[in-house]
Structure 1
Amino acid sequence: MAISWDDYAVEWENEPSALLYADKAFESLQQVVDIQSTRVLDFGCGTGLLSQKLSPLVKDIVALDSSEAMIEQLDSKQLKNVEPVVDTLSRGLVAMHPAFRHQFDLVVASSVCSFLPNYSDVADIVYSLLNKGNYFVHWDWFSEDDQEGTMNPRHVLQVLSSVGFDEVEVTTPFSIDTPRGKLTVLMATAKK
């Protein structure tokens, strides 16, 4: 039987590496993007670890995740400027859901893109959601090949450039000790 993200939700924040990942992602984000008073889409927000860090600094956040149990954990944090949405990112969602009626100043995705079956399609949707001059930033486990749950820098550069981002940079800002050993994190910063 396959395990879904719902099965991880309640215990997610008990894993030290998940907490450290969110801390390091937030720190690395602040080094490349001015997040003050921005309108943010936290795509694949999980239990809201990154949204919780962003919330005091930004205007508002649409926190999107396909796992209802993860969104329930985020809801329990009662973040006033965070609108949780249970769904997958698709053109239909963007066209129909009121949370997507305005453009975003920043889209973030923490450990999400490597699990997408359609990274290129989602990157294209993200591009359409951003105001000109603003950023899509995502973090995923780094790999030179294309193992599930990891991202290859060449692939990331190719996809983000092909959907129209003007400036794309891929770095490896931090590593984390995890139950699977020490893993390096890839950070993609793409400016529209």
Structure 2
Amino acid sequence: MGNTDIFEKMADRYDNSERVQIAKIASDAIREYVVDAKDKTAIDFGCGTGLVGMNLLDDFKSVLFLDSSQNMIQQIKQKIAEFNIENADTLCFDFEKQGQSELQADYIFMAQVLLHIPDTELVLSRLYDVLNPGGHLLIVDFDKNESIVSDLVHNGFDQADLAERMRKLGYRDIQSKTVYSGSNIFMNQDASIFVLDAQK
């Protein structure tokens, strides 16, 4: 996945107070769209150190923490062991390089992950294939921000444009809204964060 080598280096010092706060905002936004999911499976896609998924463990039957960074996965394994979590598992896997797997899930959520993925359509299409019929993909990411110029990440997303691109891939019943605005939260720029819910 995009920028894996960067995340490999920062895994053991990733969990700072700002990231914990943003993860809480993201998980609360995702939870709004999760209905009667105690018997459903979920994937925390591009999970990092699991800050978002850990907040949502009680909402699902099980959560698979998936990331392309082995060091990030190691951080989650330590948390699972430390807290004796029984409804979580981990997988180091790169959807951009490895193509389809045998994975299936009722919910996939990804928080501040899409901006790191160069070919967003490819990954969104592969995630569509992983979803069970009627399943949900939930995306939390930054609104498009023209003041950000970077070779490493997208400068956010226009919600309507992203929804239209996802419709072309087969997603339906797409809804989104901005859930948070903050100062210096995106490449040292003021930015806003949206949540998008799409169904297979």
TM-score range, shorter chain: 0.7 to 0.9
Distance in 2 of aligned mates of 1:17 and 1:174: 14
Unaligned segments of structure 2, at least 5 residues: none
2:191 match: 183
Task: Tell me, yes or no, if the aligned pair for 2:30 and 2:109 is still in contact at 8 Å.
Answer: no
**Alignment partner, residue 139 of structure 1:** 140
Q: Name 1:64's counterpart in structure 2.
A: 66
Residues 45-76 of structure 1: CA distance to partner in whole angstroms, max 9, x if unpaired?
A: 00001121112231111111111111111111
Equivalent runs, 1:26-45 vs 2, <5 Å? 26-34=27-35, 35-45=37-47
Report what 1:163 is aligned to.
169
Partner of 2:22: 21
8 Å CA contact 2:41–2:107 kept in 1: the answer is: yes
1:143-189: CA deviation from partner (whole Å, max 9, x where unpaired): 15585342222331122111101111221111234452432102111
Could you say which residue in structure 2 is the equivalent of 1:46?
A: 48
More deviation, 176-185/32-41 = 176-185
Q: Displacement, 1:37?
A: 2.7
Count matched residues.
185
Moved more, 140-149 or 42-51: 140-149
Q: TM-score under structure 2 normalisation? A: 0.83
Q: State whether residues 30 and 195 of structure 2, in contact with CA within 8 Å, keep that contact through their aligned partners in structure 1.
A: no
What secondary structure does 1:62 align onto? Answer: strand
In 2, the alpha carbon distance for the partners of 1:86 and 1:143 equals 29
TM-score by length of 1: 0.86
Q: Which residue of 2 aligns with 1:89?
A: 95
Give the SS at the match of 2:15: helix
- Aligned equivalents of 2:98, 2:92: Cα separation in 1: 14
Shift of 1:36: 2.6
Distance 2:121 2:52 in 1: 23
CA distance in 2, matches of 1:115, 1:57: 27
Indicate conservation of the 8 Å contact 1:42/1:61, yes or no: yes
Identity between Structure 1 and Structure 2 (%) = 21
Cα drift, residue 93 of structure 1: 5.3
Query: Whole-Å Cα distance in 2 between the matches of residues 19 and 178 of structure 1?
Result: 15
Find the residue that maps to 1:47 and give its secondary structure: coil
Among 71, 77, 80, the residue aligned to 2:86: 80
CA deviation vs aligned residue, 1:90-139 (integer Å, no higher than 9, x gap): 584533x5xx2xx2110000100111111101111111111222210011
Where in structure 1 are there 5+ consecutive unaligned residues?
none
